[in-house]
Protein backbone atom coordinates (compact mmCIF):
# COMPACT_ATOMS: atom_id res chain seq x y z
CA UNK A 1 0.00 0.00 0.00
CA UNK A 2 2.80 2.49 0.67
CA UNK A 3 3.61 2.72 -3.06
CA UNK A 4 -0.01 3.61 -3.80
CA UNK A 5 -0.05 6.25 -1.07
CA UNK A 6 3.13 7.88 -2.39
CA UNK A 7 1.75 7.95 -5.94
CA UNK A 8 -1.51 9.50 -4.76
CA UNK A 9 0.20 12.11 -2.58
CA UNK A 10 2.19 13.43 -5.50
CA UNK A 11 -1.01 14.18 -7.41
CA UNK A 12 -3.28 16.16 -5.13
CA UNK A 13 -4.55 17.66 -1.94
CA UNK A 14 -4.95 15.99 1.45
CA UNK A 15 -8.69 15.47 0.92
CA UNK A 16 -8.21 13.80 -2.46
CA UNK A 17 -5.44 11.65 -1.03
CA UNK A 18 -7.57 10.41 1.86
CA UNK A 19 -10.54 9.77 -0.41
CA UNK A 20 -8.41 7.70 -2.80
CA UNK A 21 -6.95 5.70 0.09
CA UNK A 22 -10.44 5.04 1.46
CA UNK A 23 -11.66 3.90 -1.97
CA UNK A 24 -8.67 1.57 -2.34
CA UNK A 25 -9.13 0.09 1.13
CA UNK A 26 -12.87 -0.37 0.66
CA UNK A 27 -12.31 -2.37 -2.53
CA UNK A 28 -9.80 -4.72 -0.93
CA UNK A 29 -11.08 -5.27 2.61
CA UNK A 30 -14.26 -6.17 4.47
CA UNK A 31 -13.49 -3.51 7.06
CA UNK A 32 -10.87 -0.85 7.70
CA UNK A 33 -10.08 1.86 10.24
CA UNK A 34 -8.06 4.85 9.08
CA UNK A 35 -6.57 7.19 11.69
CA UNK A 36 -4.66 10.25 10.52
CA UNK A 37 -3.11 13.27 12.20
CA UNK A 38 -1.65 16.56 11.06
CA UNK A 39 1.65 17.99 12.24
CA UNK A 40 1.27 19.74 15.61
CA UNK A 41 0.68 23.47 15.50
CA UNK A 42 2.99 25.93 17.24
CA UNK A 43 0.58 25.79 20.18
CA UNK A 44 0.94 22.01 20.32
CA UNK A 45 -2.52 21.18 18.96
CA UNK A 46 -2.84 18.27 16.57
CA UNK A 47 -5.83 17.51 14.32
CA UNK A 48 -6.67 13.80 14.55
CA UNK A 49 -9.28 12.16 12.34
CA UNK A 50 -10.64 8.63 12.30
CA UNK A 51 -12.86 7.01 9.73
CA UNK A 52 -13.91 3.45 9.13
CA UNK A 53 -15.86 1.43 6.63
CA UNK A 54 -17.62 -1.83 7.29
CA UNK A 55 -19.26 -3.31 10.34
CA UNK A 56 -18.94 -1.00 13.38
CA UNK A 57 -18.35 -3.91 15.77
CA UNK A 58 -15.56 -5.24 13.59
CA UNK A 59 -13.99 -1.76 13.34
CA UNK A 60 -14.09 -1.46 17.15
CA UNK A 61 -12.51 -4.92 17.43
CA UNK A 62 -9.68 -3.86 15.09
CA UNK A 63 -9.00 -0.70 17.10
CA UNK A 64 -9.08 -2.56 20.44
CA UNK A 65 -6.68 -5.21 19.20
CA UNK A 66 -4.35 -2.62 17.67
CA UNK A 67 -4.31 -0.79 21.00
CA UNK A 68 -3.36 -4.02 22.78
CA UNK A 69 -0.50 -4.61 20.35
CA UNK A 70 0.90 -1.13 20.98
CA UNK A 71 0.51 -1.54 24.75
CA UNK A 72 2.36 -4.87 24.66
CA UNK A 73 5.18 -3.40 22.56
CA UNK A 74 5.60 -0.45 24.91
CA UNK A 75 5.64 -2.78 27.92
CA UNK A 76 8.27 -5.02 26.37
CA UNK A 77 10.40 -2.00 25.42
CA UNK A 78 10.25 -0.68 28.99
CA UNK A 79 11.20 -4.09 30.39
CA UNK A 80 14.20 -4.40 28.07
CA UNK A 81 15.69 -1.08 29.25
Above 70 in pLDDT, residue 34?
A: yes
Nearest to 51 by CA among 19, 27, 28: 19
The pLDDT of residue 19 is: 82
Give percent of the chain above pLDDT 90: 42
- pTM for this prediction: 0.64
Angle of CA points 40, 43, 45, to nearest 5°:
45
Above 80 in pLDDT, residue 30?
A: yes
How many C-beta atoms lie closer than 10 Å to residue 25's C-beta?
19
Q: What is the pLDDT of residues 61-75, one digit of tens each?
A: 999 999 999 999 998
**Domain residue limits at 71:** 2-80
Count the domains in the chain. 1
Amino acid sequence: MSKTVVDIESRGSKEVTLEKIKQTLKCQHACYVLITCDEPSKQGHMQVEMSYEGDESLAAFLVDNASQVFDERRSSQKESK
